[in-house]
């Protein structure tokens, strides 16, 4: 069954299973996507599978932040070196940052509120969920996955938990951004020197600007993979329960026979 055909007469539907991705609408507390957008613009949109906005905002954040040196200035501000904080900020770029940053947070919040309403409508409409998709380029199917395993793979390498869940766009995008930020921040050299106990040298080799992207990337990869595994499990069970009720409730059980 093709997903587009199965849902063409539906007004709202709950899931789209393609060979690249399982996209779903899900209930979320609005502050959660808003918070992730504050940590890294675009993340709140990626959580909802809104990839166009998500990817563009993500790349926007990298370009504008790196050029205006916002992360660097943040570190100087936190550590009380206010003169340096003022000095490093690039005034040619920095004012471009603020409006889009705020809109990405606001838009994540607003979008979540809307999606929560659509979730209620779609759950009521019960349009068919297509559990399986095999195309020339890949195979995807609904399944039960271990949330803890998704978390573990993400801990080992951000994006891998998403690949386990067949969330391919998020998975490979996070992997790419992680590699870029790891490379430019020089964190692995820093880690090496830290493990050898050479703390001052480890601090010196780090690129502050790029290193500050890493915590939010890591946190998001873990959190999103875990919650998606939970949501996909729910979707699997919903689809199967509907199938069983449709196909295997023809039997007329007469208890008084017993």
Partner 1 sequence: MLVVSSFEQNESLEVAIVELKNNGITKDKILAVPFEKRRNDKQLFDSIHRSDGVSLFDIAAALGTIFAVLGASYGFVLTWGPIIWGLIGCAFGAFLGFVIDYFLTKRKMKESIKLPSSFTEVVLIVECNESKSEVVQNILWSNLALGVAKVKNNAG
- Asked if residue 258 binds partner 1 (CB under 8 A), the reply is yes
What is the nearest approach in angstroms of partner 1 to the Cβ of residue 5?
Answer: 22
Q: What is the 3-state secondary structure (H, E, C) of the chain?
A: CCHHHHCCCCCCCCEEECCCCEEECCCCCCHHHHHHHHHCCCHHHHHCCCHHHHHHHHHHHHHHHHHHCHHHHHHHHHCCCHHHHHHHCCCCCHHHHHHHHHHHHHHHHHHHHHHHHHHHHHHHHCCCCCCEEEECCEEEECCCCCHHHHHHHHHHCCCHHHHHCCCHHHHHHHHHHHHHHHHHHCHHHHHHHHHCCCHHHHHHHCCHHHHCCHHHHHHHHHHHHHHHHHHHHHHHHHHHHHHHHHHCCCCCCCHHHC
Residue 29 vs 135, nearer CB to partner 1: 29
- Asked if residue 208 binds partner 1 (CB under 8 A), the reply is yes
Distances (CA, A) of 148 to 8, 19, 235: 35, 24, 18
- Asked if residue 126 binds partner 1 (CB under 8 A), the reply is no
- Asked if residue 135 binds partner 1 (CB under 8 A), the reply is no
* Binding-site member from 6, 19, 20, 35 for partner 1 (CB under 8 A): 35
* Binding-site member from 4, 9, 78, 99 for partner 1 (CB under 8 A): 78
Measuring CA to CA, which residue among 114, 115, 123, 166 is closest to residue 14? 123
- Asked if residue 248 binds partner 1 (CB under 8 A), the reply is yes
The label of the residue with tokens 């409409």 reads 125
What is the nearest approach in angstroms of partner 1 to the Cβ of residue 138?
Answer: 19
- Asked if residue 218 binds partner 1 (CB under 8 A), the reply is yes
Residue 75 vs 100, nearer CB to partner 1: 75
- Asked if residue 85 binds partner 1 (CB under 8 A), the reply is no
Residue 8 vs 106, nearer CB to partner 1: 106
- Asked if residue 227 binds partner 1 (CB under 8 A), the reply is yes
C-alpha–C-alpha distance, residues 184 and 42, integer Å: 21
What is the nearest approach in angstroms of partner 1 to the Cβ of residue 144?
Answer: 5
* Binding-site member from 56, 176, 191, 196 for partner 1 (CB under 8 A): 191
* Binding-site member from 6, 74, 175, 180 for partner 1 (CB under 8 A): 74
Which residues contact partner 1 (rule: CB under 8 A)? Answer: 29, 32, 35-36, 39, 74-75, 78-79, 143-148, 187, 190-191, 194, 199-200, 202-203, 206, 208, 211-212, 214-216, 218-220, 222-223, 226-227, 229-231, 233-234, 236-237, 240-241, 244-245, 247-253, 257-258
């Amino acid at each position: 069954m093709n997903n587009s055909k199965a849902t063409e007469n539906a007004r709202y539907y709950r899931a789209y299973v393609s060979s690249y991705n399982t996209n779903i609408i899900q209930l979320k507390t609005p502050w959660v996507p808003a918070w992730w957008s504050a940590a890294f613009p675009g993340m709140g949109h990626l959580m909802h599978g809104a990839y166009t906005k998500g990817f563009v905002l993500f790349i926007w954040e990298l370009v504008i932040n790196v050029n205006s040196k916002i992360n660097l200035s943040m570190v100087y501000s936190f550590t009380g070196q206010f003169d340096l904080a003022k000095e490093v900020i690039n005034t040619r770029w920095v004012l471009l940052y603020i409006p889009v940053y705020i809109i990405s947070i606001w838009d994540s919040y607003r979008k979540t509120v809307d999606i929560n309403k659509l979730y209620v409508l779609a759950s009521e409409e019960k349009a068919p969920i297509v559990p399986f998709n095999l195309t020339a380029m890949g195979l995807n199917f609904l399944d039960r996955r271990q949330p803890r395993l998704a978390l573990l793979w993400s801990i080992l390498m951000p994006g891998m938990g998403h690949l386990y869940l067949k969330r391919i766009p998020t998975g490979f995008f996070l992997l790419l951004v992680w590699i870029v930020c790891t490379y430019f921040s020089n964190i692995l050299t820093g880690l090496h020197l830290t493990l050898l106990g050479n703390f001052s040298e480890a601090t010196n080799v780090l690129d502050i600007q790029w290193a500050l992207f890493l915590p939010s990337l890591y946190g998001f990869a873990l959190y999103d993979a875990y919650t998606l595994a939970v949501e996909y499990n729910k979707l699997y069970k919903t689809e199967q329960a509907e199938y069983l009720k449709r196909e295997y409730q023809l039997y007329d059980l007469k208890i008084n026979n017993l």
